Copies of this chain bind each other. A is one copy, B any other.
Amino acid sequence: MMRSPQEPNRNGGLRTPSPRQRNQSQFQSTVSVQKHRRFNILILIFRFAAFCFSLASAIFMFANSRGGSDLDSDSLRWYHFDAFRFVAIAAAIVALYSLFEVGASVWEISRGATVFPEAVQVWFDFSHDQVFAYMLLSADSAGTALARTLRDRDTCTANNAFCVQSAISVALGFAGFMFLGFSSLLSGFRVVCFILNGSRFHM
């Protein structure tokens, strides 16, 4: 073990540890920093996956227009259906939020500090994950129900591409929901760690 007598006393002068104790706690804190880094990279991956899937879902739905002009009776537009509007807007909101969270995650990994103060950040992440996960699930369930009823009607025989594209968009939305749910679990774990230790570092 290396000795580092020039290292400043981190305990605020209350108790002077022996060099051996100090080295050991340094070693433990290095392990904890590495674990914390791996945890953050896992969050980043989930966030990025949620961003990709929800963005793809939003693009597929926003581009979902078939038939001639808006005035034709047989033209199909995503914004003529309430549930599809909900799917498109929910996916777009989740994509924006996930993009922000990817940025926040990269910031945290590179600089070692959260964007907002730590207490705000952990609660912000967890609450928004929960609310947006509920919203996305609700939108995609409604989209599924609408897509199934459209299949029973003449709509899908007349213009199958519209139905297929809607179904793909809804499926991508469900994948986005899944990754948002995983992120929500991890950010919930961070909240518990923060309450336990007064720090987002786990254990």
Contact = CB atoms under 8 A, between A and B. Distances in A.
Interface string A147-164: 011100100000000000
B83 A148 contact: yes
Contact of A137 (B138, B145, B148, B195): B138
Interface SS, A side: helix
A199 interface: no
A153 to B, nearest CB: 8
A156 to B, nearest CB: 13
A42 interface: no
Nearest to A133: B134
A1 B113 CA distance: 51
A144 interface: yes
A19 B195 CA distance: 34
A10 to B, nearest CB: 25
A161 to B, nearest CB: 20
Instruction: Report which residue of A82, A142, A148 has the largest number of chain B beta carbons within 10 angstroms of its beta carbon.
Output: A142
A146 interface: yes
A186 interface: no
A148 B195 contact: no
A91 interface: no
Q: Which 5 A-B pairs have the closest CB atoms?
A: A142-B145, A145-B145, A141-B141, A138-B141, A83-B145
Interface of A: 82-83, 133-134, 137-139, 141-146, 148-150, 153, 191-192, 195-196
20 contacts: A82-B145, A83-B145, A83-B148, A133-B134, A134-B137, A137-B137, A137-B138, A139-B141, A141-B142, A142-B144, A142-B145, A143-B145, A145-B145, A145-B146, A145-B149, A146-B146, A149-B150, A153-B153, A192-B192, A195-B196
Given A138-B138, A144-B145, 15 more contacts: A82-B148, A83-B145, A83-B148, A134-B134, A137-B138, A137-B141, A139-B141, A143-B145, A145-B146, A146-B146, A149-B149, A191-B192, A192-B192, A195-B196, A196-B196
